[in-house]
Amino acid sequence: MNKIIIVDKPYGLTSSYVVNKLKKYFGASKAGHSGTLDPLATGVLVVYFDDMTKIIPFIDESIKKYEVKILFGIETDTLDISGEILRISKVKDYSDIDFLDVVTNFIGDYNYTPPSFSAIKIKGVRSYKYARQGRSVDLPKRKSIIKDIKIVNNGTSVITLIVESSKGTYIRALARDIGSYIGSFSTVSKLERLGTGRFKIGDSNNYYSILDGKEPSFFPLNKLFPLIEIDDNNAEKILKQRNYKMVDLQELIGRKIEDQFVVMVNNDIPLLITTNKFDNNKKYICSEIKFFSKKN
């Protein structure tokens, strides 16, 4: 299989369910994903099949982009509308609030308490497992970076925002804290991931259309890393090396190496990914190699 696909994850399904369903559909031996989405959330879910799962640690998904609709006046245990309602405030018109000023206060370093319904581990156990049992958990504060917040629209009790944030930011917590800032309860009523790193919602495939037999559009590897095509002779030389070994690839294959990560391809088959090291003058030093399918 050795493919990458962007799926628009449907509402109500877990990320692992979608990945396992697609793994079975495509007949892949293994599958993985980067960046779990809550069941409530929709949008960009990147799925890697077979040998492509090995490039996940090399993918830059440091910046995420979301569209979130925040409902004021309601507090739930999960911080979204899928949870149990804890408190409801009196009906209030929030449309006169200067939300541009409000959200500006959250741009930059963002220190927050993560939701108790989260995958963060406490003594080896996921926090949401304690929360489902009704047990209180004390999660340490986290620091994220909010790159930008744009207001799409706001009404009497809801506001829709587009948020760009660093990896690992819980948008549900941001929604809670925005509500608290204006003196209200709040919860997420809709959340869509528009992008993660180079992966955009416009390049995604409809999950149900795939299962109905529509030909999917796979994400090309050369949009993630430079590809170097090597001949059979050089492929044979490289395949004699050990996994994770530091080697002088420039000398080995007689090609100049200029990028931090490079994928070596032989006869259109990806063989390995290299992590390349350079000195302060950007002069090549050596490469660490990681094979996709070679067994060592």
Q: What is the pLDDT of residues 65-100, one digit of tens each?
A: 999 999 999 999 999 999 999 999 987 888 889 999
Q: Single out the residue of 285, 263, 261 nearest to residue 275, CA to CA.
A: 261
Residue 70's contacts (CB-CB under 8 Å, 6 or more residues apart) are 158, 159, 160, 161, 175, 178, 179, 186, 187, 188, 189
Cα separation of 201 and 43, whole Å? Answer: 6
Whether residue 186 contacts residue 72, with contact meaning beta carbons closer than 8 Å, is answered with: yes
Mean pLDDT of 270-294: 94
Q: Per the residue annotation, which of 38, 50, 51, 80 is the catalytic one? A: 38
Mean pLDDT of 199-216: 98
Cα separation of 187 and 289, whole Å? Answer: 46
User: What Cα–Cα distance (Å) separates residue 202 from each residue in 147, 192, 291?
Assistant: 21, 13, 31
**Is the alpha carbon torsion for 97, 99, 100, 104 positive or negative?**
positive
- 3-class DSSP state of 181: helix
Q: Catalytic annotation on 212? A: no
**b vs e for 39-77, b when ≥16 Cβ sit within 10 Å of the residue's Cβ?**
bbbbbbbbbbbbbbbbbeeebebebbbbbbbbbbbbbbb
pTM summary value: 0.90
For residue 205, give both structure tokens: 């495939």
HSE-CB at 57 with a 13 A cutoff on CA atoms is 7
Task: Using pLDDT thresholds of 50, 70 and 90, give the confidence band for residue 176.
Answer: very high
Whether residue 250 contacts residue 266, with contact meaning beta carbons closer than 8 Å, is answered with: no
- The answer, yes or no, to whether residue 153 has pLDDT greater than 50, is yes
